[in-house]
Amino acid sequence: MTSPTDQYDPNIPQSTDDLATSQGQFLTNFQQLYNAFVVNHVALDAASNAGNHTLIQLISSLQPFNTDAGEISIYAKPLDMNAPLDEQAPQLFMRYQGNQTEVPITNYQLYSIPATPDRMQYFTFLPGKILVYYGMVNINAYPFNLSLNPSIGKNLVTANFCSSSSGSGASSSPIVDPVVAQDGFIHSLRLTSAFGGTGIVNQLMTYLVMVNI
């Protein structure tokens, strides 16, 4: 690490500078540019691959990056803006030209939704624009509405429910219908009895739901 007196100086050269007397300052500026560029790059004076990236390092953003026509943005941002930032690592996002929908392209974390008395919910991302919801829910009566959070899925891939308790109709999986709002996203799943009945069932079920985003 250089001392403050050796940092890059954007005010060099001045229009009145003489090259002979400013040579030291020029050399210092060139050295600082070299030192800055060599971070995460092959050195500019390397025998091969000079200037190539060795690592891409992104500073986390709290908002999507704007994209004009003919360009895309790749940036780091937390997946769940409602969760404490110190409980999640930023993920890599890509946004298509013209400020289209941003897409998470990395994943390695499991995220939990605050539990309620009748359900525990989690979600994670898989490569290929797949969002996975899973957890446990107590279906006290049919029909039952299972909210999906975050509501960013557009197409239901699969929904599997497995009973974990006894009760009326407990051995059967429910019929699942996605509830799509006017914004085009799936906000919840409407569960009905496979036998067509309604009323109290008190079924404790584990579930796994996959959607395209």
pLDDT along the chain (213 residues), means of 10: 58 79 84 88 90 82 85 83 63 86 72 82 82 91 90 91 63 85 90 74 88 89
Q: Are residues 1 and 36 in the same domain?
A: yes
- The pLDDT, as a whole number, for residue 4 is 43
Do residue 117 and residue 146 come from a single domain? yes
- Give the domain-ending residue among 37, 53, 69: 53
Structural domain boundaries, residue 149: 111-212
Same domain, 135 and 197: yes
Number of domains comprising the chain: 3
Last residue of a domain, one of 106, 141, 172: 106
| Residue 199's CATH number | 2.60.40.3940
In this structure, are 163 and 93 located in the same domain? Answer: no
In this structure, how many other beta carbons lie within 10 angstroms of the beta carbon of residue 159? 20
User: How high is the pLDDT of residue 180?
Assistant: 92
What 3-state class would DSSP assign to 21? Answer: helix
State the residue for tokens 């090259």.
19
Q: Give the end of a domain, one of 106, 128, 144.
A: 106
Count Cα atoms within 13 angstroms, Cβ side, for 162. Answer: 6
* 172 and 122 fall within a common domain: yes
Pairing of the two strands 73-77 and 144-147 = unpaired
Identify whether residues 132 and 96 lie together within a single domain.
no
C-alpha 30: how far from chain center: 38
User: Are 1 and 42 part of one and the same domain?
Assistant: yes
Identify the pLDDT of residue 210.
94
Q: Quote the pLDDT of residue 170.
A: 46
Q: How much is the pLDDT for 198?
A: 66
